A and B are shown apart, each in its own frame.
Chain A
Amino acid sequence: MSDLGSINFDALTPAEFEQHLPDLFLAGGKLSEDPRLTRFLSANPDCAALVRDLETIAETARSLFEPVHEPSDAVWSNIASKLAEEAGEDGGVTDLAG
């Protein structure tokens, strides 16, 4: 990981940008809107496209947090029977399959 304090944004090269990119992203904020990078990204459209794409990926990833998949009914049946079994061993009577 690199030291962001050492970056000269006015003389940044694409190779240096690539080297610092992980830390620039981790520093927070939207890189495509970072005023320190405005001139560099305008002059280097491939780097600008990379930044936009990586931001899009990270933003879309957050939408994956909401679950869309559901386990089969067998999962709960197994859980319920195991818990009922354990409750029986403990002397309790628990009808989890209800």
Chain B
Amino acid sequence: MQSKPTPGLFKRNPPIAGEAEAIERAKLGDPDAFSKLYALHKRRVYTLCLRMLGNVSEAEDMTQEAFLHLFRKLGSFRGESAFSTWLHRLTVNLVLMHLRKKGLQLVSLEETINPSEEDAPKRDFGSRDPQLSGSVDRVTLERAVASLPPGYRMVFVLHDVEGFEHNEIATMLECSTGNSKSQLHKARLRLRELLRHPEQLPPPPQASHARELVQ
């Protein structure tokens, strides 16, 4: 049996060379240090925003807000957690605040936190639909995640991609831990349905504007 994921971010945030020094210099107002911190973390913050919002323009706006917030509040960073963990939490909270402010999105989020029967994944143990071939490529999964209803998408991204624990997600989304667990399971079931028919998935949200890095 595998061990449970480590609380927080799967320990996937090792120190980055030069980051600590840049943080200290940025606290003193050094513009080059701000630039360096942005360069180190822009892709991760933007990718998180894009996954949560599914919209290039909003994701860029929230990336901007996250870094402005970061630079203004940097003095309060004491190093109790990894800098990138701190930045991720800050970003997630800003995106959620943004969605709540939009009102309409908030209703949508609540609906999918408690989805109607129509939205819920089908129970299909006996289905003869094609099964996944045993592997899913990340680009296809990315497209499927973008197709999820917002509430499912939030919980899936926060738990399975970002590595937050259910109690942390419950606090952020203002729902119960049980609700977060239930939503995650339903999100995975919905993804399974979507991934069985990848040809029906819409193109990724960044296709027309953002640049994708060649890995």
Binding site for B on A (CB under 8 A): 1, 14, 18, 21-23, 25-26, 28-30, 33-34, 44, 46-47, 49-50, 52-54, 56-58, 60-72, 74-76, 78-80, 82-83, 86-87, 92, 94-96, 98
Contact = CB atoms under 8 A, between A and B. Distances in A.
Contacts of A65: 10, 12, 161-163
B134 A69 contact: no
Report which residue of B12, B34, B184 has the largest number of chain A beta carbons within 10 angstroms of its beta carbon: B34
Report which residue of A33, A70, A95 has the largest number of chain B beta carbons within 10 angstroms of its beta carbon: A70
Grouping DSSP codes into helix (H, G, I), strand (E, B) and loop, the A interface class, with mixed when no group exceeds half, is helix
B160 interface: yes
Contacts of A71: 42-43, 46, 59-60, 63, 210
Given A30-B2, A49-B131, A14 B125 contact: yes
A20 B188 CA distance: 15
A28 B7 CA distance: 13
Contacts of A49: 131
B98 interface: no
Contacts of A30: 1-2
Interface residues of B, number: 66
22 contacts: A28-B2, A30-B2, A34-B1, A52-B131, A54-B192, A56-B136, A57-B141, A61-B160, A62-B163, A64-B141, A64-B142, A68-B43, A69-B43, A69-B210, A71-B42, A74-B60, A75-B67, A76-B38, A79-B64, A79-B71, A83-B68, A96-B35
Interface of B: 1-5, 10, 12, 29, 31-32, 34-35, 38, 42-44, 46-48, 50-51, 59-60, 63-64, 67-68, 71-72, 123, 125-127, 131-132, 134-138, 141-142, 145, 156, 160-163, 166, 178, 181-182, 184-185, 188-189, 191-192, 195, 206, 209-213, 215
A57 B192 contact: yes
